[in-house]
Chain A
């Protein structure tokens, strides 16, 4: 099977992480934000699948309890709690977690990533864990820069590449490139930035509007 996703921003710790959502299909793609080494940001935009929608609504979920020994500052907890509530309001749900490690050459899941993914899979059976492959984070790279893990027998195992299907990858890549060139990627707000300045909108409506414009059929270059 495959996973349809709209990627959403949440807080991570070092490197960046975020929640993977599957959404009611408004044709509004959301933006995946990662920071690679040295404070650069690259963006990969993923569009929701137009035909497969998750109609489940999420009850307003309580926050994730702190896991002993895992480094969660209060940030990620409140982040995911806010995201939970926002999801229920917009009929989306958290279906996974993505993370980019600060060290570009190392894309293995950290203990923290595994714990967060565990928590999410308690609420959603087919949760995915996505690690970003830093070496492939380039606008002209041919393949999606992700490494996908799924839960099997209470462990996170590498998912067979051939069972992963991403829709609209080329279009997504093109949009991301355009956003990088126009400098719009600097508009990106993740939950960490939000905590630094709470007037910043972690739902990124401004940016999503720009993305929507770039994906509209009226835009001939697509």
Chain B
């Protein structure tokens, strides 16, 4: 982790001609939408805290938390510590603040101390999910994937509705190339979130990766489903094109299946072309992309047939 020394020639408020209220509102929006634009949060938050703290009222505490986490992302331990100290003063016995202390220790790679913090929280409150997840994050950071997976599975036995955890587990399995188990996690997510196009798309991608005719057909179906849920999902569109193309190229399929999949692939290709034409309107730069996509689709067809 490194620190980029930015020579700030002007304050945020000067540069963007915003007042402190807009800065506060921006921070709130980023909080609510769960953005991780840490550099921006640090820029805006640091200025807000140092120059307008008295105006922020009770908002200041949640802003300290938000800025502290962003500061850790940017290796700004000075700022993180400042925020943390204010929070400790105000909420001396808080588990939430203790967790933040733990996160700072994690950022400094002092994992044993961080674990002690989380264990202390769990002693006091065994149902504290945040502390358990931080412990799993530490295992991940240390490269102990097998343990992280084991702990996360145990966690999910207790907290079976935690979607964030299911998704994290699917990613851990993907990193270990255990696609079967990753697919299982995504199936859980699709069951509880049938309208989420991203889960469908990711499931389709795992199936595509597993390969083999049966999995390719499943992947095509789920790419198509993702598109039904969101017709602007480009990954799903490309995925539909590729899975259908590969199925139609397989020597093991019947003439009908071959024909059907060629139709799906052709449809997808048209949609892709159309999307790129719309994207390229008015911008010279995107002509590259457009032409590249056209030729790519052509060349793919040649190899597929």
Contacts and interface: CB of A to CB of B under 8 A. Distances in A.
A38 B296 contact: no
B253 to A, nearest CB: 16
With a 10 A CB-CB cut-off, give which of A42, A61, A199 has the most chain B CB atoms.
Answer: A199
B1 A81 contact: no
Given A69-B209, A180-B4, A205-B285, 13 more contacts: A40-B38, A60-B299, A62-B300, A62-B303, A66-B209, A75-B235, A85-B292, A111-B177, A139-B2, A181-B4, A195-B238, A199-B286, A203-B288
Contact of A38 (B73, B205, B234): B73
29 contacts: A36-B1, A37-B1, A39-B36, A40-B73, A40-B74, A42-B2, A62-B299, A63-B300, A72-B208, A73-B239, A74-B205, A74-B235, A74-B241, A75-B238, A78-B296, A82-B289, A82-B293, A85-B292, A85-B296, A111-B177, A139-B2, A181-B4, A183-B6, A198-B234, A198-B275, A201-B283, A201-B286, A202-B289, A203-B289
Contact of A138 (B2, B141, B234, B289): B2
Contacts, number: 129
A-side interface size class: 35 or more
Given A81-B296, A86-B288, A73 B235 contact: yes
Interface string A193-210: 011101101110110000
A137 interface: yes
Given A73-B209, A106-B143, A194-B289, A81 B235 contact: no
A168 interface: no
With a 10 A CB-CB cut-off, give which of B4, B6, B291 has the most chain A CB atoms.
Answer: B4
Interface of B is mostly: helix
Interface string B169-189: 001001101010000000000
A67 to B, nearest CB: 8
Given A40-B74, A68-B212, A73-B239, A198 B289 contact: yes
Interface residues of B, number: 51
A75 B238 CA distance: 8
Given A69-B211, A181-B4, A195 B235 contact: yes
A123 interface: no
A222 B272 CA distance: 43
A62 B38 contact: no
B296 A71 contact: no
Contacts of A137: 2
Given A78-B242, A111-B177, A199 B296 contact: no
B10 interface: no
Contacts of B212: 68
A30 to B, nearest CB: 13
Given A199-B286, A201-B285, A70 B234 contact: no
Contacts of A14: 171, 175
A73 B171 CA distance: 13
B302 interface: yes
A77 interface: yes
Contacts of B1: 36-37, 40, 104
B246 A66 contact: yes
B51 interface: no
A199 B2 contact: no
Contact of A39 (B73, B177, B296): B73
A111 B178 CA distance: 13
Contact of B208 (A42, A73, A78, A83): A73
A89 interface: yes
A133 interface: no
With a 10 A CB-CB cut-off, give which of A37, A85, A180 has the most chain B CB atoms.
Answer: A85
Contacts of B288: 86, 89, 201, 203, 205
